[in-house]
Amino acid sequence: MSANTHHARLQWSDEYSVGIPEIDEQHKMLFDLIDKIHVAIFEHKGTSACVSVLDELVDYTRIHFALEQSLMHMGGYPEYEEHCILHRELVAEVEAMQSKIHSGSAAISFELLHFLRTWLSKHILGEDKRYGEFFANHGHSSIHSWSQRSSEVIQKRKKHWWKFW
C-alpha cells in the first residue's frame, strides 16, 4: 500500500447512498467525523484533539446504529438480527481501541483510521445497501412511518435528531 493510498481521505459520494435520506445524512456525519480524525492525525493536532473526535465518533456511531436498527425492526427487515450482530461487533472493537487509547497503551494512528474508513465503506456498500434495496422494493410505508415518527420527536423536543436517543 502506498503512502498516498494509506493516507487518502474517505469522502462521501452518491455511491454510498442507501436511498433513505435520514440514514444518508447520518452516514455523511460518520464520514465527516472520520475525516476530522484524519485531519487531526495528519496535521499533528495532538492526542487530546484526536481522542475528542474519536469519542464523538464512538458516541455518534452508537446512536446511528440504534436509529438504523429501529428502522430495520419497524420495517421487518429479514436480516435484522445479523445486521445487529455486525453493529455490536464493531462497537466492541472500537470501544476496546478507545479504552486502550484512553489508558495510554495505544495511540490514535493511521492504522486505526484505516480500520475505521475501511469498515465504514465496506459496511455501507455491503450490508447497508442491502437494507436500502429491501426498503426500496418492500418498505416505503415503513420508511415513511419511521421518518414521520423521528420528525415528530425532533419537533416536540426541539433538538437535533441525534440528541433525543
pLDDT of the residue at 48: 81
Rounded to 5 degrees, φ, ψ at 106 are -150, 160
Bigger pLDDT: 6 vs 32: 32
Coil, helix or strand for 37?
helix
How many domains does one find in the chain? 1
- Least confident range from 14-23, 62-71, 105-114, 116-125: namely 105-114
Q: 64-89: per-residue pLDDT in tens?
A: 898 899 889 888 899 999 999 999 99
pLDDT digits (tens, 9 = 90+) for 13-33: 999 999 988 899 999 999 999
- Predicted TM-score (pTM) of this structure: 0.81
The answer to whether 23 and 71 are in contact (CB under 8 A) is yes
Q: Which domain holds residue 116?
A: 19-163
Q: For residue 142, tell me if it sits in a domain.
A: yes
What distance in Å separates the CA atoms of residue 75 and residue 138, rounded to the nearest whole number?
A: 9
Domain membership flag for residue 12: no
| Structural domain includes residue 10 | no
136-153 pLDDT, tens digit each: 888 666 676 777 766 665
Would residue 4 count as lying in a domain?
Answer: no
